[in-house]
Structure 1
C-alpha cells in the first residue's frame, strides 16, 4: 500500500488535517483508495458563490464501516472495494450513513504539497450535506479501526474507504496521496464531478 488516505477539513492556512481515506481503482479510473489522504483544505472547485447542483445518476453515499475482510464480498454482504493492490469487503451501516443530495463540485488537480507531482481530488458539498457530513465524521473520529472508516459508495460500488481521525466541517474535502492524473480524474468523475 502507498501513502495513507486521509480526509480532512478546510483550514484557513490550507494545511490539511490527517484522516485516513482510501480511493478506489478499477471503477472508472479511481485510484488506490487505502493509500490516499482526503484532506479538508481548499475549495473543491469554485468560490462560495458556486451553486450546488442536484446529484444525477446513482446516489453518492457516505457509510460507516463496521467490518473489513480480505477478498470480494458475497452477494449482498457488503461493498467490494477494489484497489490496484488488493480487494476488500466492507460491511457498512446504511442507517447511520448519509446520502449526498447536492454536490457543488468534485474536481481533480495537481497537489502542490506532493513534491513528486501527485494529483488530488477536491470535493465541495452543499450546506445541508456539509452539516450532515460534519456530524457523521465527528462520530466516526471517536471510533477505533476499522469502525472509524467511511465507505464512499456510488450506486452499488465502493469508491474509497478512508479512516476518519477528526470531524470535517465546512463541507470542503481534499483527497490526496499518490494519485496520477488519470486516477484523480477518474475518481472525481466517479464522485459526480464533470
Structure 2
C-alpha cells in the first residue's frame, strides 16, 4: 500500500455513510475512518523508516466516534489511580491525641510511622470524630520546597473546607505537643503530622511525608495526581 491508497476501514465507513444518508452519525463515522487512515499511514511511514511502532505505557489516546449527535473527541486513558471509582483520592485531617516512640500494637487504631536510620518508629493516635474525614481537595501540586529543596505536595482546600480547616487548626494551636499536631491520612497511611501555632486560614497546607525528605519527585507527582480532581 502506498501513501495514496485508502485503508479498507476508511473505504467501508465512507460507503456506509453514502448509503445511509445520515448527516449526524455520518460525520462521526467519517471522522473515525479518517483517523484510522492517519494511524495506518503513520505506522507505514515508521515501518519504512525502521523505527517500528512502540506502545505508549503511560498514556494511550483513542479516537471515539459517537453516533448520537454529540461531538467526536480524543479520549485520554490514564493509568489506574485513586480509589477505583474514577474520583480523586480523599484526604483526612485529624487532630493528634497521642504519639509514642514505638510501632502501634496490632489491632489498635493508630498509625505506625516506620523507623529510619535516623528516626525511631512511632505510633500516632487521632480523634477522627473531631477531624475532617475523607475530604476531596480542589487542587494538589508537586514541587520543591524553596527552603530546603525537598519534594512536597501543596494542597488547596475548597472554601467550605477552608473554614473547617481554620477552625480545626485554631482549636489545637494552643495545645501541648503532640496535641497541637494534625495527622494527614491518605488511603489509611500517615503522610505527615505537622504542628501548628495558630489557625491556618488560607486553606492550604503542604505534605512532606512523615519525615521531611520522604518524598521523591515520583512519589510527590503521583500523590498530587491522585489527589487532584478528575
TM-score by length of 1: 0.60
Q: Which 4+ runs in 1 deviate beyond 4 A?
A: none
From 101, 115, 119, the equivalent of 1:70 is 101
From 196, 210, 221, the equivalent of 1:164 is 196
Q: Kindly indicate which of the two structures has a greater share of residues assigned to helix.
A: 2
Structure 2 CA distance for partners of 1:148 and 1:183, relative to 1, 3 Å: same
Structure 1 CA distance, aligned partners of 2:127 and 2:136?
A: 22
Root-mean-square deviation (Å): 2.8
> 1:150: which partner in 2?
182
Shift of 1:97: 0.6
Unaligned runs of 5+ in 1: 1-54
What SS is found at the alignment partner of 2:130? coil
With 135-144 and 175-184 compared, the bigger mean Cα shift is at 175-184
From 41, 47, 60, the equivalent of 2:91 is 60
How do residues 105-120 of structure 1 correspond to structure 2 at under 5 angstroms? 105-114=139-148, 117-120=149-152
Structure 2 CA distance, aligned partners of 1:139 and 1:181?
A: 33
TM-score by length of 2: 0.52
Bigger Cα Rg: 2
The C-alpha deviation readout for 1:119-147, integer Å capped at 9, x for no partner, is: 33211011111110010001111111011
Q: Kindly indicate which of the two structures has a greater share of residues assigned to strand.
A: 1
Unaligned runs of 5+ in 2: 1-85
Structure 2 CA distance for partners of 1:186 and 1:83, relative to 1, 3 Å: farther
